[in-house]
Amino acid sequence: MKKCISILCLSLLVSCQYEDYDDSKVVDSPLATCIDGYAKIPGTDYEYSCLNYDLMGHITLEEMDANAGNDCWGWTDSTTGREYAIMGINNGTAFIDITDSTSPIYLGKLPTSTVDSSWRDMKVYNDHVYIVSEAQEHGLQVFNLTKLRGVESKQVFSADYIDNSFGNAHNIAINEESGYAYIAGAGNKGIYAFNLSNPLAPTSELEAPEFGYSHDAQIVIYKGPDTDHVGKEIYFGSNENRVDIIDVTNKLEPKLISTFLYDHQYTHQSWLTDDHKYALLGDELDELDSNYELKADAKTRTVIIDLSDLDNPVLHHNYEAETKAIDHNGYVKGTEFFLASYTAGLRVLDVLNIDQKSISELGFFNTFHDHSDHDHGLPKLNTIKNQDPGGDHSGKKGNSEAFNGAWSVYPYFKSGNIIISDINSGLFVVKKQN
């Protein structure tokens, strides 16, 4: 009996301490409702072009003590149900509680492990976030996200572990099914993978420089139509001028399956459809001219790759949007593709009929203000620009106004909250209208 009472008391203590999230108690009233193509924050001149998506909440760069934003990811606390946005900023990684999306709470940041950088990337596995950066000698930061429970005021957090087996890197991808993290763009290491079975002591188990530089990657346990490869761990690398498809099941002997080539400028990032039949590929420079400015006839292009035969991937078709913007990071959720398209903001595409080469836009929310047709006294462009691709600080790549706006998007929260990380304006939380 005493044992039962003790367990009951402990259960009540944990419940009270962490305030389990009850979505029925949250008042879902947007900060700015999308009406007739614009979402205007009441009482201000802040106005955003939109279609079918409302602005729920916003955290500025100033609130995060930063002057430039970059990537983002999300975490849902399985114990409390609370939702958190994780956003890369020039001087670290910011944590925002977005459970009540109309009143997001900035909890603080994990500072960069060395120096500031315009590039930072993060992914989550088993309640830990893994962070890389183009900052010199940055390495891999690991932070236990459960430390965010109960935080009520802004804090400066410390990493729980740092791996210094590499210096700077451009990206990180995690295969949650296998428990491996893959570092992309880590100097001459090629494919570089860590076993995450011990989150505070990840061990390097794969280093394959022969495959060259990867800008970004997605790694899956393949379940697509090619029966020769079902059940294998497959690495889809967006590698500057191609997509490499590599079998990494055996970490001691990775094997190149095939390479997809196309009319490229800079192969940036791709994401598979849920059935692993197609990859939606973004090329970061194909909308630009030789001076890295938007072409007069530019249309945002997404390259659709048919993966029915992994040994022979082929072009399915090109989707061209009506927007004149560079596409950056995109993610598939069900039959929808959520694309961060720099100065065109978040674009949501219907890929239900991708087999028939039919893709259409369902909605959008543009976090960027173009200062042409609509200049509402909003903050001017930040002086720090996204100098993607590849951490290249040379030339005009970083000086073009085309490299501003929405860097990334995370659409996987159960609540329907979608976060957008904006280079110039911070974190936006949007939601589809009912």
Adjacent-strand bridge partners of 125: 128
pLDDT at 389: 52
User: What pLDDT does residue 369 have?
Assistant: 73
Fold that domain 29-432 belongs to in CATH: Methylamine Dehydrogenase; Chain H (2.130.10)
Q: How does pLDDT run along the chain (434 residues), one tens digit per residue?
A: 444 444 434 444 444 444 455 554 555 799 999 999 999 999 888 899 999 999 999 999 999 999 999 999 999 999 999 999 999 999 999 999 999 999 999 999 999 999 999 999 999 999 999 999 999 999 999 999 999 999 988 999 999 999 999 999 999 999 999 999 999 999 999 999 999 999 999 999 999 999 999 999 999 999 999 999 999 999 999 999 999 999 999 999 999 999 999 999 999 999 999 999 999 999 999 999 888 889 999 999 999 999 999 999 999 999 999 999 999 999 999 999 999 999 999 999 999 999 999 999 999 999 997 543 333 333 333 333 344 655 443 333 434 678 999 999 999 999 999 999 999 999 999 999 98
The three-state DSSP-derived secondary structure of 364-388 is: EECCCCCCCCCCCCCCCCCCCCCCC
> In which element (H, E) is residue 18 found?
helix 2-18
Indicate the residue type of 120. Answer: R
Q: What is the pLDDT of residue 23?
A: 53
pLDDT of residue 402: 87
| 394, amino acid identity | S
Using DSSP's 3-state secondary structure scheme, residue 211 falls into helix
Please give the C-alpha separations between residue 188 and each of 81, 167, 172, 339, in angstroms, as whole numbers: 40, 11, 15, 30
**Quick check: 288 and 294 in contact, CB under 8 A?**
yes
SS3 of residue 13 by DSSP: helix
C-alpha span between 339 and 332 (Å, rounded): 9
Q: What tokens were used for 172? A: 């990180």
Distances (CA, A) of 364 to 35, 192, 337, 418: 13, 36, 11, 12
Nearest by Cα to 423 from 72, 107, 98, 123: 72
**Closest C-alpha to 269, from 254, 280, 285:** 280
**What pLDDT is attached to residue 152?**
86
The encoded tokens of residue 359 equal 């893709």
User: Could you state, in order of their start, the residue ranges of all structural domains in the chain?
Assistant: 29-432
> What sign does the dihedral 310-315-320-324 (CA atoms) show?
positive
Cβ-Cβ contacts under 8 Å for 33 (sequence gap 6 or more): 39, 54, 55, 433
Cα separation of 382 and 141, whole Å?
27
